[in-house]
Amino acid sequence: MSIETVRVDLGARSYDVRIGQGLLDRAGAEITALAGQRRVAILTDETVAARHLAGLQESLARAGIEAPALALPAGEATKSWSRLGDAVEWLLARRIERKDLVIALGGGVIGDLAGFAAAILRRGVRFVQIPTTLLAQVDSSVGGKTGINSPHGKNLIGAFHQPALVLADIDVLTTLSPRDFRAGYGEVAKYGLLGDEDFFEWLEANAAGLASDAGLRQHAVRHSVAMKAGIVQRDETEQGERALLNLGHTFGHALESATGYSDRLLHGEGVAIGCALAFELSARLGLCSQEAPSRVAAHLAAMGLPSRIADIPGDLPDDEALIGLMGQDKKVQDGRLRFVLARGIGQAFVTDAVPPEALRAVLAQSRA
Ligand code: GLY
């Protein structure tokens, strides 16, 4: 299967997302034109380093690029001020300059942290995303959102900083645990739900084969990236349409925060529950048919994803506390919660007109 390219067209900040098999092994050849004689440094995590770092460094070495690496602990807790400081100081100690290249090798945590480190180092250094999870390939590596978490909430500290290149090797996804693959799939389903009913229908028919069939996987990743690129091109800094990419995230981020960003609930699982809740809320408000939330929940369940708050193991804060956590969402404007709701599958929109009673009723129903 050939490698496909999706161009993210942002004028001087344009870049290619290369999608296909064997890209990690080709990384040196892919990066060499960007790197030239410049220094290259890799930020990764310990789990990804054990699997993929040697292969990447060998590929870079074949292209004459020597690239030292810093492996941070794996997990959401790494998106912190202290790990960001470690990464920035390490890059400075390696004398990484503005035109040098930082490579983010890993999932969303590493991509977000490395991208933010690159954004603030010397007021902006170029970086390449090599996403190693499904979530990072279809969402977080594309579009230039970078950042870290605060005890006040997820991704509250950050910057827009577009990568110079994204290499999405779909073979790497076969090394993920089934749970991590499924969680990333929550973000793939999101694209169909927010803006493309035909893609959702394709996923209903084909998604069960994604983990094992490279052709299906490449199609799903390429289509998701193309949808994201289109949205980012029209609204790079989220003044409007880009907020649709947060379908399921207002609920999802609150649930992630309520579970302490732990293994109890992975980000993509929170998004899956959040998408189901967004459709439940939409149906309750008469915006979409009753069939739509049932179809969403049925597909998530078929893919082994949670779709209800009750699916989260352990105790959770009460509804008022959850609504309080939603109040830290970046979509909040003038203190009003804003939700991505839907008029049907593939027809999402943003609104702040959600009566609190309807929100409470949907939360209560999802806990039962
Ligand atoms: N992950 C949402 C966005 O990039 O806008």
Coil, helix or strand for 167?
strand
Give the pairing of strands 145-150 and 153-160. antiparallel
The question of whether 249 is a catalytic residue gets the answer yes
Cα separation of 188 and 115, whole Å? 22
178-367 folds as: Dehydroquinate synthase-like, alpha domain (1.20.1090)
- Domains of the chain by residue range: 4-175, 178-367
- Span from the CA of 274 to the centroid of ligand 1 (angstroms): 15
Q: Annotated catalytic residue: which of 267, 299, 330, 338?
A: 267
Asked if the domains 4-175 and 178-367 are classified in one and the same CATH topology, the answer is no
- SS3 for 55-79 is HHHHHHHHCCCCCCEEEECCCHHHC
CA distances, 26 to each of 3, 57, 60, 238, 293 (Å):
11, 11, 8, 33, 42
Q: Is 187 one of the annotated active-site residues of the chain?
A: yes
Look up the pTM and report it.
0.95
Residue of minimum CA distance from atom 2 in ligand 1? 245
The pLDDT assigned to 331 comes to 66
Q: How much is the pLDDT for 262?
A: 85
Give the Å distance between the CA of 98 and the centre of ligand 1. Answer: 25
For the CA of 246, the closest atom of ligand 1 is: 2
Q: Judge residue 116's burial from the number of C-beta atoms within 10 Å of its C-beta, 0-12 exposed, 13-18 middle, 19 or more buried.
A: buried
| For the CA of 187, the nearest atom of ligand 1 | 1
Report strand pairing: 4-8 vs 153-160: unpaired
Residues having CB closer than 6 A to ligand 1 are 139, 143, 145, 242, 245-246
* Distance (Å, whole) CA 37 – CA 58: 17
The span from the first CA to the last CA of the chain, in angstroms, equals 46
What pLDDT does residue 153 have? 80
Residue 238 designated active-site: yes
Per-residue pLDDT of 297-339, as tens digits, reads 999 999 999 999 999 999 999 999 999 888 876 666 777 888 9
- Kindly give the number of the ligand 1 atom that is closest to the alpha carbon of 238: 5
Please identify every stretch of the chain with a pLDDT value under 70, giving residue numbers as ranges: 329-332
Largest CA distance in the chain: 62
User: What is the predicted pLDDT for the residue at 329?
Assistant: 67
Bridge partners, residue 29, by sequence: none
pLDDT (tens digit, 9 = 90+) per residue, 106-148?
Answer: 999 999 999 999 999 999 999 999 999 999 999 999 999 999 9
The residue among 339, 326, 321, 330 whose CA lies nearest residue 157 is 330
Q: Rounded to whole angstroms, how far apart are CA atoms 257 and 10? A: 33
> In the CATH hierarchy, which top-level class contains the domain 4-175?
alpha beta
Q: From CA 210, how far away is CA 138, in angstroms rounded?
A: 13
